[in-house]
Structure 1
Amino acid sequence: MDNYERDPTDSKPHTAWRLRLALAGCALAVVVVVLGAFTRLADAGLGCPDWPGCYGHLTWPDEHHEIQNANAAFPHAPVQTDKTWPEMVHRYFAGALLLLVGGLTVLSWRRRGHRTFKQTHFLLGLIILQAAFGMWTVTLKLWPQVVTAHLLGGLATLSMLWLIVERLRNKGRFIPAHEFRALQKIRPLAFIAVATVVLQIVLGGWTSSNYAALACPDFPTCHGEWWPQADFAQGFNVAQQIGPNYLGGALESDARTAIHLTHRIGALIVTLLVLSLALLAWRAGSRRWAIGLAGALALQVCLGIANVVMFLPLPIAVAHNAGAALLLLGLLTFCYRIQTAQPQASSTNSERENSELHGTVLAGEL
């Protein structure tokens, strides 16, 4: 059984409030990430052509006269009510997350020496940058570079909030010495797995923002071939022109095929790495972690395959984005637990120490 120690310098009521707020922030960040995926996959990223309002409204135009006025003001972007509400709901939840993190930052000033103080301020800066990316997503008309960065920033926000939760819990985890030594040996692989999953998420964002998810309509082959014709130079041209409307994508078929193929190759690499990590974790004695990581990976792979063979149904596509967040958080938590774990003293040593301590006390009494 694991034993835990808490930092005696922590103010319990204050830390408890910050922990509750950080947990609420994690839940809200999950909602924002899922809503962002839904907005993007429902082609509603330009549902509101202005920012931060929507056709000049705080919500969105839904009355007949409001829609007429909006169409007159934005003739190049007529109102589509099924596109406006996802965008604005996403913005309002993102705004609520900004306010929550702002409150978390204010509370952190009461404990400037706490190890989450700098992290909380960095998180606030990241969310402000995310708001800017949200604006640029609209003003730059879904420029793939910005859309991908916006997706990555959302997952970074969620990850940082979760790590703040882990730090605020402030639990020193003691594990048997042999398990500790085994986990320390696989720690480099765990960090490599995190970095690889992050790169795969970037590839997934690039695939989505360039509308390449169905560039290969079959699985496991692509257009009936293992290596079809593909234009990697054009597919990964990060200097795409600013100005055109990128809704629906602007790349040729071969370029999109190159992006999709690369994402599949990345998925294969991630699968091999995470399965290797899960196997080593199992051998080290962390069987729950092994099952959890392997399960999250299997779910994500199945969702990715389903996206192709079922022609990108919206619920599964959104779940695939959520699955990426789940896998990333699982790996990050595993790395953090390894990093902060401490070896548990053996029972023989503990008994010897207790015996020596008892003898010292008796000598003192005599």
Structure 2
Amino acid sequence: MRKSLRKPSFGLALAATLMAICVVVLGSFTRLSHAGLGCPDWPTCYGHIWAPQTAIDIAIANETYPEIPVNLAKTWPEMVHRYLATGLGLFIVALVIMAIRHRREHNQPLKLPLLLLCLVLLQGAFGAWTVTLKLWPQVVTAHLLGGFTTLTLLAILTLRLSGNRFSAFAQIKQFHKPRQLAAWTLAVVLMQIFLGGWTSANYAALACTDFPKCQTQWWPEADFETGFDFAHPIGPNYEGGKLAVPARTAIHLSHRIGAIVASVFVLGLAWALIGVRQRGWAALLVGLLAVQVALGISNVVFSLPLSVAVLHNLGGALLLVTVALINVLLNRKDPIYV
């Protein structure tokens, strides 16, 4: 019987990846349910480890933070998200410890767990700044990108630790086109996720409430200069957004155009994979893309239902993970093992 090539920390990495999915989902739920400022301080919530519960504590909290009164319906998603993210950080610390202990083993990743540790520490800082800077769009978008990147790197680490054979992908190295197209697709998907995050952070998802037109026009008034002015001042409370309608329209239209471009690249990559007999990965790409497009249209047509919006965020994360894994498999140095 062939000796298992699975690394000792595979199960830990898989658990961390699943937890990262939960963190991404809950983070999007917190943001989209307008609970990002459910707790106006950090790391506590109105000075409590969970939230003020008694009438006296709530009264004191409201007096301390009169601009953000206690809303227990918003405090729980914020605090659950914080504790779940902290738990993910502990998983990553454990992965680093395991990587150091087994660093002399063949194909044991060390740099990737260390990179994840740096990233999760940065994510903690972004989480704090999201609250203390009152949903400053730049930080909110960076926090979303950081969460998606953390999930993606954990998925890559899990794949590398699994010890699975992907010998069929070794044959694809003969073809330059799939590798080059995969790299471009990854860049385009990342840009589209940034546009989605910028749309959400600036509350521009409902700048267009009809589809395929926008405000009953093919090209309504749009202020791209203001919409993509990244010099928002620090200080105001950005909950609900501060931009005028033309600026939000410009952001929304950019996200729609980005979706078209990303769809072309993803479909092109799927076609290229079919050409090198990787129909399973191609089908996965097309399926994720179809679901993501349907969810995006549903967000507009049905006025941003919370469940649909959260699934749209999850779909973007899963599409990014899939494209990233394809890039890893196409570009790995070892012809047999990941």
On whether the aligned pair clears a TM of 0.5, the verdict is yes
How many Å apart are 1:115 and its aligned residue? 4.5
CA distance in 2, matches of 1:68, 1:210: 31
> Which of 48, 59, 67 is the matching residue for 2:58?
67
Counterpart of 2:160 in structure 1 is: 167
> Which of 86, 95, 101 is the matching residue for 2:77?
86
Under a length normalisation based on structure 2, what TM-score does the superposition of the two structures give?
Answer: 0.94
Please tell me whether the aligned partners of residues 203 and 263 of structure 1 are also in contact (alpha carbons under 8 angstroms): yes
Are residues 99 and 298 of structure 1, via their aligned partners in 2, closer, same or farther at CA, if it must alter by over 3 Å?
same
CA distance in 1, matches of 2:308, 2:170: 43
Counterpart of 1:238 in structure 2 is: 230
Counterpart of 1:155 in structure 2 is: 148
> Which of 91, 95, 102 is the matching residue for 1:111?
102
Please tell me whether the aligned partners of residues 172 and 330 of structure 2 are also in contact (alpha carbons under 8 angstroms): no
Say how many residue pairs are matched: 333
Gaps of 5+ in 1: 345-366
How many Å apart are 1:343 and its aligned residue? 7.2
- 1:1-366 superposed matches below 5 A: 15-16=7-8, 18-113=9-104, 115-175=108-168, 181-182=174-175, 184-340=176-332
Deviations 1:266-307 (A, max 9, x none): 000001111111112112211111111000001100000000
How many Å apart are 1:180 and its aligned residue? 5.0
CA distance in 2, matches of 1:269, 1:130: 29
How many Å apart are 1:333 and its aligned residue? 1.3
CA distance in 2, matches of 1:178, 1:74: 62
Residue type of the alignment partner of 2:18: A
Please tell me whether the aligned partners of residues 230 and 255 of structure 1 are also in contact (alpha carbons under 8 angstroms): yes
Residue type of the alignment partner of 1:45: G
CA distance in 2, matches of 1:193, 1:284: 17
Larger-Rg structure: 1
Which range moves more in the overlay, 275-284 or 312-321?
A: 275-284
Are residues 6 and 193 of structure 1, via their aligned partners in 2, closer, same or farther at CA, if it must alter by over 3 Å?
farther
CA distance in 1, matches of 2:163, 2:180: 23
How many Å apart are 1:111 and its aligned residue? 2.3
CA distance in 2, matches of 1:176, 1:166: 14
How many Å apart are 1:209 and its aligned residue? 0.2
CA distance in 2, matches of 1:21, 1:177: 28
Deviations 1:254-277 (A, max 9, x none): 000000000000000001111111
How many Å apart are 1:164 and its aligned residue? 0.8
Under a length normalisation based on structure 1, what TM-score does the superposition of the two structures give?
Answer: 0.87
RMSD: 1.9
Are residues 335 and 6 of structure 1, via their aligned partners in 2, closer, same or farther at CA, if it must alter by over 3 Å?
farther
CA distance in 2, matches of 1:6, 1:272: 40
CA distance in 2, matches of 1:63, 1:85: 15
Secondary structure, counterpart of 1:221 in structure 2 = coil
Please tell me whether the aligned partners of residues 173 and 340 of structure 1 are also in contact (alpha carbons under 8 angstroms): no
Are residues 343 and 151 of structure 1, via their aligned partners in 2, closer, same or farther at CA, if it must alter by over 3 Å?
closer
CA distance in 2, matches of 1:341, 1:180: 10
CA distance in 1, matches of 2:99, 2:243: 46
CA distance in 2, matches of 1:280, 1:272: 12
Deviations 1:117-162 (A, max 9, x none): 1111111011011000000001100000000000000011111111
CA distance in 2, matches of 1:69, 1:29: 35
Gaps of 5+ in 2: none
Which range moves more in the overlay, 326-335 or 262-271?
A: 326-335
CA distance in 2, matches of 1:197, 1:255: 23
Are residues 255 and 280 of structure 1, via their aligned partners in 2, closer, same or farther at CA, if it must alter by over 3 Å?
same
Residue type of the alignment partner of 2:128: M
CA distance in 2, matches of 1:121, 1:279: 35
CA distance in 2, matches of 1:302, 1:282: 23
Are residues 292 and 271 of structure 1, via their aligned partners in 2, closer, same or farther at CA, if it must alter by over 3 Å?
same
Deviations 1:138-193 (A, max 9, x none): 110000000000000001111111111111123442228865534x4311001110
Residue type of the alignment partner of 1:127: V
Secondary structure, counterpart of 1:130 in structure 2 = helix
Deviations 1:90-120 (A, max 9, x none): 0000010111111111111112345411111
CA distance in 2, matches of 1:6, 1:192: 35
